A and B are shown apart, each in its own frame.
Chain A
Amino acid sequence: MTAHDPVITELAEANPVSGETSSDPGDRAEAERIMRRVLAGDQGPPPQRWRRSGLLAPVVSVVVVLAVAAVLLRTGGSSHGSPSSGGSPTITLVAEPTSQTPRITSSALTRELSLVRQRLATVNRHFSVTRGRGNSLVITVPGASAAQRARLLALVTQTAQLTMYDWEANVVAPNGRTVAQDLRTQSPAVIALSQGANRGAGQSGAGSLPLYDAVKLAAKQPPRALSPSMARMGPEYYMFGAPSSPACAAAAAAAHTAPVPGTHCLLAGPLDLPGHISRQRALQAFATQLSAGVSAAAGQVLAVPQGTRVLQALAPEQVDAASPAAQFFVLRDDVALNGHDIVSPRRTADASGQSAVSFGLTAAGERLFQAATRAVARRGDEASTLGETLDQHFAIVLDSRLLTVPSIDFKQYPDGIQTTQADIAGGFTRQSAGDLATQLRYGALPLALRVVR
């Protein structure tokens, strides 16, 4: 009665802890400690942590509650802090080479300037950008609020590589196979990833994973030979700290946050390093990224091989990728279309007047789009059985973040979508449709930008 019950299925997908045997050294040490504690005799001292001193415990509790009350009183019971003042009217950024543009040239800087100017205009028309000394750009933001400054910094520091994937053909299930490979099994994990578990495909909670689990799954994928359809070249390295480890505590302190109990923390990365390197070499490369007080030796290094990507899930509210609340999917890196295949994205309205996003396709993009959507539609037709429709999806990705994962109606488009202009509709507000159109318009910045002042 329960195998396909939607409530049970959705709860199972939100299961925060795997019950599988852990290979983490910290977890295994804990298991051995517990075994020794039990076998050493049950007359030993009471456990320290939860049989705390009867005298001290209330004192600690009272201090904690008073601190919480003080915070709540200061914020008026709201979790949102008050906005701070705008700060300096200029922001200086320095351009750095990327894998796409390994040398900083005058023409690359000119294109960078033009794209940054376009992006700034989406925040405030009065913001401007000029070339500074050397390879720097100076942005002038008169009267900008802290929120506006944060938004524009997020905008201009994204190199913005726009890619599109056949979702089910690339998203990887916990067993390491793609959803498309196992669609016939209709296992709960596969159905959650494909049909989105009451939320929508690609959404946080619809089969998504915390970063550590996603990177661990991705790291088990075999490396694939470089091909033109890949968005990334070479492996990508991450360094994690063990749950409740001193390294996680030190990293959290450096970031002015609190470590999240029971979860691995990201100490450094992701880092692109050429080819396969030794653990020692990876540790050396990470050393410059580590927070003060964190030793490289304390970290667990995981490498996501070429041909696999870890992408941040969609969420009702944007979550920073470094936040413990962020969720991720693992995808094979077989890109169907790139940002340069689409033109003139804009907010529009569908037939019922609801906000939507429309974009045109180049001649090459038109062919690629039809081929990709044909594969998606045919799989949807094959997977759907009488009375049950399993629509398949197309994912649009900006850098390492999913932007939207729309479905394709295989009954309407059995041979894919042949068009010069595509529309994405459903579930958009005026604001979210405008934001998506802006993100599609970004175009890839040729150079990376780092804030220096």
Chain B
Amino acid sequence: MRRSMLVRKVLLAMAAVLLVAGGAALAADTPRKGGVIRVGNLGEPPALDAHWTTASITETLTNHIYEGLYSLDSANKPIPMLAESVAISKDGLVYTFKLRQGVKFHNGKEMTSEDVVASLARWGKQSVYGKALFAQVADWKALDKYTTEMKLKEKSAIVLISLAVPNNFGAIYPKEIAERFPPEQKVTEYIGTGPFKLAEWKPDQYIRMVRFDDYKSRNEKPNGYGGGKAAYVDEIRWIPVPEVATRVAQVETGELDFADDLNLDSYDRLKKNANARPIVSKPYYWLVAVMNKKEGLMMNQKLRQAWQAAIDIEPIMKNVAGGRAEFYRMDSSLAPVEISAWYTKLTGLPWNEHNKDKAKRLLQEAGYKKEPIRFMTTQEYKWMYDFALLTKQQLEDIGFNIDLQVVDWATLVKRRNNPKEYDVFTTGIGAFYDPTHAVFLTPSWPGWTTDEDIQRIQSELARETDPKKRMALWEQQTRQFYEKVPVIRYGDLFGLRAARNTVKDFNEKTERVRFYNVWLEK
């Protein structure tokens, strides 16, 4: 066994040498194997267990190690990944998934239906999306080695999309691991089917992922997050660099090959750099002020409407975007234009009215008497603090009294679960690929959107399977959103990344970075 590995390694090395030797003659655009790509990111993941947390850094990292049954294509629609195909019964209640054969885990074991059933059961207990789906699932079992069958309690529109979302996703682990670690306990053995496997994790120093030589790629071309995946680089080294200014500097000097989440002020400088290039990432977030509708002042709908009517979004976005038009977009659709399936083009919505008289009138109707409104934000995400501070000034100019509370992120996410501790908090709404995944419209997410009319449409959206009717419902929901104002939608903010020019074939279109199919020149 060991010997054949060695032989294979030698052969591979020889092949690589030949490739490199021949590469000089070939066009510069031919992917080349080898090299270590050093990627600077925000910080440490709380876990490398995809089922366990929605943290976006965990999402980015785990998607290189694990795969799910489905993935998203470049139009953000579900396409099969570990699944080969699906057959849906006429009544829409039974889904039969065929799995791809010969897919290996990093430990050498072949992936089978048992692993899928065990993993998804765990995911269904812990993940935000998994729980939403499993609320509709009656039974999910293995029929044979490569076939699983899922039975639903009611018709569902969200089966495939839930299996495809990259965040908090239904990663397939070996059965033994999925069963050894109960859902509330994070996995500490990292075995997946992805093109990279975890080699070493030194907190705050680096996470090393190396090529998985036995990776079985799909035959299709790369497509969005899915399709064929090739690990060209020998190693991805994720280096946490919490200081944003440092991350930029290190790409410029070549200490990093790639850096994510940069400050927008550095865009011009990166553009001038001969060895690196800026990459604008869309979508990033739309900025949002989430209202506490369970307790306190903001239960008052008129007060929420006053806030919505008062704010002048463009100057806020411009300041947050470092004064640059490239980095923000004024848009009222709840899904960003990149998620074309759910993008709405409604007019006449009371968004960005900056109508002081209307706002003052609404304040009066709300019976507001300058009570302090506790507005919670954090500096750990600088854009949150920035838009909160600018909002405070605009609102106070028309008679609001804003008590801006700047706390650390840990405190914010704790406090926002307690309706007694705040009135409004800041966050960002990232891409969601189905209306039912819009957390700000759910009654369980902080802010607690319990409004009956909103909930009625949400549950209809979960059951309705006709795409046209679903879109109509979504448009109706959007109009309702701007009337009931569960949260305040600001503009779309884009992110900034930077890559050295030696980094080739990086997919700039996806929300989060992926380094399969990426190769290094030289």
Decide if A and B are genuine partners.
no
